[in-house]
Amino acid sequence: MLLRFNYIFLVFFLVFAKGNSQNRFYRFVDSADAYIDDQPLKTEEFLNLIPEPVTVNIKGKLAEYYHLRALIDEKKNERAKLFNDFHITLRYAKVEKKYDIAGTACLELFFNIYRVGKDSLAYKYLDDAKRYYVLSDNQKGLAEVKQMFAYVALDKKNYKKSNKLILRDLDYFKNIKDDAYYYMYALFMLSNNYSCLNDLQNTHKYFNLLKGLRNEETITPTFFDKHIVTVNLCIAKTHLLNKQMDSCWVYLKKAQNMRVNMNANDRKDFYSLHIDYYTHLEDSKNQKAFIDSLGGLQKTELAKILETSIGGDEALIKTADSLNDAEIKNDIKGVWIGFLILGIISLGFFFVYFYRKRKIKVNEFEYLKINHEKLKVKVKGFESYISNLKKEVKTISLTYDASSQKTEIKKLYNNIHLNSKSILDKSESHLELISELNIEFFNTISTQYPELNASEIIICYYVFMGFKNKEIAVFINSTVRAVESKRYRINNKLVLPPNITLLDFLNGLIKNHQEVV
């Protein structure tokens, strides 16, 4: 009876001690969450107080932890790192069954993937967001999913359709009294849409309603101002197109006074509008100054993308390694707890049996250690491969000789293909590196030919780099016939004359773009 009591007490004590250890660090996550809107650096300080491995020390709150990490990335404008952290957030949210966080992560992944590639994968995340919000009965989340469809219409420059979707549910968004964000975002899109339609009367109608929400307690001032500055730039652009230079300057000055609230896209628009403004005034001195500023911004953004993408891959590898370490440590703890319990129950009576059992367990422990070392070597090798690959990408992307760049890219892709069977997972293929490798090409062709879908743009890029249909088929895991079919559709969409090849057309397109820039 006494032995049974001791056993129960021991198990209870160990479980309580482990839970209490985790709960000690929960408060750091809660404190970090309190500062995320206005003091993201303080949020980061609290998260940094949680010791490694976080997968053990805050088990059960990992979805919240990585969600906060992703929000910090967003405020720092570290887009590649943001994507990685939201991806990890979604993984833990599903495990912990925190469907509100899972829905939010899916929405953010949709938004970021759609902005970059407008890929069908983006819509999968939007459908997943809706599914998770239904599971958690989150009406606000479902309202945001509705707004994303209006956003897609806006992004595709179908402003009338976007307005129709918003106006249909405008009262619904307005009646969400405990969070004015949804009404604010609806008014924000209406203001932009009407401005792009050159309907300044309705633009100012909804913009004034938007500005009337400034003192809403449920909207943080900095977040509110981010939307105001975007509308100011949109109205300035409309006045510029109408050659109303004085009005254009008024809204450019309003945007100038809110530069601290601009995101990366706003800053690009800000510089571009000034370039067009001074071009119209034939003021070459100020025009050149803003051209230089825009060029500097683009170089900074490119360097940041390359740097954060490398850091993101390392973070994912580190997370996977931490999970493996945690699992092995938990197994080892289980073995030692088993030893202790057996020791209490046996109390010397089964000393010989215990000794032999312990010897066997120690051998198993040594086996675990050996396998763990092998795992570490494998992960280190993979980490080294990814690091070297990213360095090659960065080196090639900064090469200004187009001919040399094509040659080096081709060598790199062939190397990736040869190693992919043993090192890389096909589902995580090298296609994700392409948009980082030649951002100029993707921006140019997607802007000038929005009718091309993501897979067709990737085909164009391979053709531009000098690959043959057979090589392209290998890289995109398809057939030569499928590649030929896609090239035929591309030619039709681009309306190529019979005597012009797709390669000649793409070379001319990029050359003309570079001359204009």
Asked whether residue 307 is domain-assigned, the answer is: yes
Q: Which residue type is seen at 145?
A: V
- On whether both 376 and 479 belong to a single domain, the answer is no
Whether a cis peptide bond, with omega within 30° of 0, leads into 53 is yes
Contact present, 506 and 444 (Cβ < 8 Å): no
Q: Report pLDDT for 102.
A: 92
Please tell me the predicted confidence (pLDDT) of residue 233.
92
Minimal CA–CA distance to 186: which of 202, 165, 205?
165
**What DSSP string describes 162-205?**
HHHHHHHTHHHHHT-TT-THHHHHHHHHHHHHHHHTT-HHHHHH
Is there a single domain that holds both residue 394 and residue 447?
no
Residues 369 and 445 in one domain: no
Length of the chain: 517
Residues of the chain predicted below pLDDT 50: 1-19, 305-306, 308-313, 315-317, 319-332, 334-335, 351-352, 354-355, 357, 359-383, 400, 420-431
**Half-sphere exposure for 197 (CA within 13 Å, toward CB):** 19
Last residue of a domain, one of 137, 162, 179: 137
The tokens for 211 are 């500005």
Please count the structural domains in the chain: 3
Convert the pLDDT of each residue in 301-333 to its tens digit: 555 544 544 444 454 445 444 444 444 444 445
Q: Which residues contact 26 (CB under 8 A, 6 or more apart)?
A: 58, 61
Evaluate whether residue 8 is within a structural domain. yes
Q: In whole angstroms, what is the distance from residue 399 CA to residue 406 CA?
A: 10
**Structure confidence by residue, pLDDT tens digits, 451-479:** 988 888 888 888 888 888 888 887 777 78
The CA distance from 286 to 277, in Å, is 10
Residue percentage of the chain with pLDDT more than 70: 67
SS3 assignment, position 234: helix
Q: What is the CATH number of the domain that holds 88?
A: 1.25.40
Closest CA to 194 of 179, 209, 181: 209
Encoded tokens for 77: 């404008």
Q: Is 198 part of a structural domain of the chain?
A: no
Angle between helices 99-117 and 120-135 (to 10 degrees): 160
Decide if 466 contacts 410 (C-beta within 8 A).
yes
The answer for residues whose C-beta is within 8 angstroms of residue 255's C-beta and 6 or more apart is 229, 232, 233, 236, 262, 266, 270
Q: Which domain holds residue 447?
A: 428-517
Residue 254 belongs to a domain: no
Residue 375 and residue 380: Cα distance in Å, rounded? 8
Burial class (CB in 10 A: 0-12, 13-18, 19+), 168: exposed
Q: E strand or H helix at 479, and its extent?
A: none
pLDDT at 3: 45
Confirm whether 369 is domain-assigned: yes
Asked if the structure places residue 61 within a domain, the reply is yes
334 by Cβ neighbours in 10 Å (0-12 / 13-18 / 19+) ranks as: exposed
CA atoms within 13 A on the CB side of 214: 7
89 shares a domain with 16: yes
Residue 287 lies inside a defined structural domain of this protein: no
- Its pTM stands at 0.49
In a domain, 410, yes or no: no
Which of 102, 137, 172 is where one domain is finished?
137
The whole-chain average pLDDT of the chain stands at 75
